[in-house]
Amino acid sequence: MSLNSKVAIITGSSSGIGAEIAVKLASMGATVVVTGRQSDRIQEVVNKCQTLLSKTADEHRSQVVAYGVSCDLTDDKDVDRLIGSVVDKFHRIDILVNNAGVGSRSQFLSDGNEYFSQYDQLMDMNLRSVQRITRLVIPYLIETRGQIVNISSIRSRLAAPKNFAYSMSKAAIDAFTLALAKQLAPLGVRVNIVSPTTTRTPLWKTVYGTDQLVDSMAATMKYTCPLGRIGEPIDVAEAVAYLVSTNSLTKTLITGQTVPVDGGVLCSGVRHNYSVK
């Protein structure tokens, strides 16, 4: 699967799932745009991607494997700067992976105004920012007949009483993706969803202040997940890679679809007591 000459923007790619997606797409020949808020973490991922250049003998490969841009996706001017920078440097955009997102632990029935404060912040990041960057990138994707992959969560389809806002934001992303896929299909742009189960990422520690919860979930999922394990970032990256690779005519017919990376949770009806991916 080759992505030579393709330029891919992966939001929230300075750690976790996004970083793994960036490395995977870079390994397939793409030039990846690594984004996040922390410049040191961005550079770590850029360096990791750039080392792939020495491992390939492909003379057609771009010498720029990764390009790092710090960006606050909730700041419209910052997003304008990000897209302007990418277009100025590469003159094209082929792939957009909307991965960046945040979680919340505020409770709907018990946390009063704190719930709505976190709700506003979460929707700004998980939903509004996705629409904003997508709208800016679409004209370039039309030119390249490119594609969009939105990272959702199985929590968009499974009730999560402990995390109303997160589940609602991901359900909204699903609806947005389906509508956008229908609108862009006549223009040759494909739009799909990758929907992970509980995945071992830094988001857990950010939201809960500890890795103990995700470690507990990993132990529980040995017995409750049909495939017997917690998700890892590489699982999600492989699904994204499948969707965006273009070596098969069959895959160019895939749009408006959801790929669950869930170990069989959805099809089994398993209910886990957790609240973020």
21 falls within a domain: yes
What's the confidence (pLDDT) of residue 184? 98
What's the confidence (pLDDT) of residue 206? 63
**Interatomic CA distance for residues 252 and 188, integer angstroms:** 9
What's the confidence (pLDDT) of residue 271? 58
Give me the domain span that covers residue 12.
7-268
pTM for the whole structure: 0.90
DSSP 201: -
Torsion sign over Cα 108, 273, 211, 23: negative
274 falls within a domain: no
Catalytic residue among 67, 166, 223, 242: 166
What's the confidence (pLDDT) of residue 112? 79
CA dihedral 255, 257, 258, 264 (to 10 degrees): -120
**Interatomic CA distance for residues 186 and 183, integer angstroms:** 7
- pLDDT tens track for 139-190: 999 999 999 999 999 888 887 777 788 899 999 999 999 999 999 999 999 9
* Residues, the chain: 277
CATH number at residue 71: 3.40.50.720
Token duo for residue 143? 């030119």
277 falls within a domain: no
- Closest residue by Cα to residue 146 from 180, 187, 207, 99: 187
181 falls within a domain: yes
Active site residue 208: no
Exposure string of 190-225, with b = 16+ CB inside 10 Å and e = fewer, is: bbbbbbbbbbbbbbbeebeeeeebbeebbeebeeeb
276 falls within a domain: no
89 falls within a domain: yes
What's the confidence (pLDDT) of residue 1? 62
What's the confidence (pLDDT) of residue 46? 97
171 falls within a domain: yes
What's the confidence (pLDDT) of residue 32? 97
**Interatomic CA distance for residues 6 and 94, integer angstroms:** 6
Q: Contact, 176 vs 130, CB < 8 A?
A: yes
- Give pLDDT < 50 ranges for the chain: 274-277
Domain count, the chain: 1
- pLDDT tens track for 10-26: 999 999 999 999 999 99
**Interatomic CA distance for residues 114 and 108, integer angstroms:** 9
Residues in Cβ contact with 126 at an 8 Å cutoff, skipping those fewer than 6 apart: 101, 102, 166, 169, 170, 173
